[in-house]
Amino acid sequence: MKKATKKEIEEIKKRLIEHYPQAKTELHYKNLYQLLVAVILSAQCTDKRVNMITPALFEKYPDIDSLAEADVEDVKELIKTCSFFNNKAKNLVAMAKMVKEKFNGKIPEDEKELVKLPGVGQKTAHVVMIEYFGKNLMAVDTHVFRVSHRLGLSDAKTAKKTEEDLVKAFKTDLSAVHQAMVLFGRYICKAKNPKCDECFLTEFCKSKDNFKAS
């Protein structure tokens, strides 16, 4: 695969930020607790589905203290339409317990501490830090991974390596680029039938020959 040039990378970055100014997550949340729970639930699950699940969950368990005392079976019942709900329910309760016991009930704002929580890997931690704190970080979900490869920004086989390539390529404004790439991948550069006719990055696409007209 032909890699994007430095000039192309700069133009891709500029257009992404211009098309999605002040882009934010589509997950619904009111505070750091709700954001962290929603992001944990969103792993391999759509934001739309998560937003259908969380109102009842947050009504019953509005904070870390209540979730730490929750019955895992009850949490499973509330999130059962989410993928991997068994594991996610266990992780959510375990996460809340750890926050209560090891962090005095306050969700850590440091990445190294955040990734110690059950259900929180590097990607989840980065999404939370990008969204809530506007940190200069990159997170690679399925949309960002796909867009990165189609635009020749990375040819890495893993999300972690792809993230490294993107950080190296873009360097600054990573939080804005991440949010933009998610929306671009979700609505235009889709996995199936990408909307090439609506694309504002067509000339940088390294994969367009593989697409049939949608």
**DSSP 8-state code for residue 122:** H
The CATH number of 6-23+137-207 is 1.10.1670.10
In CATH terms, are 6-23+137-207 and 32-133 the same topology? no
Q: Which two tokens stand for residue 50?
A: 């998560």
**Amino acid identity of 188?**
I
Q: pLDDT, tens digit, for every residue of 77-99?
A: 999 999 999 999 999 999 999 99
Residues designated as active site: 123, 141
| Distance of alpha carbon 11 from alpha carbon 169, whole angstroms | 12
Instruction: Please write the tens of the pLDDT for every residue from 187-197.
Output: 999 999 999 99
pLDDT over 90 (residue 2): no
Pick the CATH number of 32-133 from 1.10.357.10, 1.10.340.30, 3.90.226.10, 2.70.70.10: 1.10.340.30
Q: For residue 83, what pLDDT is reported?
A: 93
Q: What is the pTM of this model?
A: 0.89
Domain boundaries in the chain? 6-23+137-207, 32-133
CA 208 – CA 211 distance, rounded (Å): 5
Helix/strand/coil percentages in the chain, nearest 5: 60, 0, 40
Closest CA relative to residue 32, chosen from 110, 84, 101: 110
> Sign of torsion, CA 53 58 64 70?
negative
Residue identified by tokens 């804005």 is 176
Q: What pLDDT score was predicted for residue 15?
A: 97
Q: Comparing C-alpha atoms, which of 174, 185, 195, 176 is closest to residue 20?
A: 176
> Of 186, 166, 178, which is closest to residue 128 (Cα–Cα)?
178
What pLDDT, in 10s, does the model give residues 120-173?
999 999 999 999 998 999 999 999 999 999 999 999 999 999 999 999 999 999
The pLDDT value recorded for residue 214 is 38
How far apart CA 101 and CA 207 sit, in angstroms, is 49
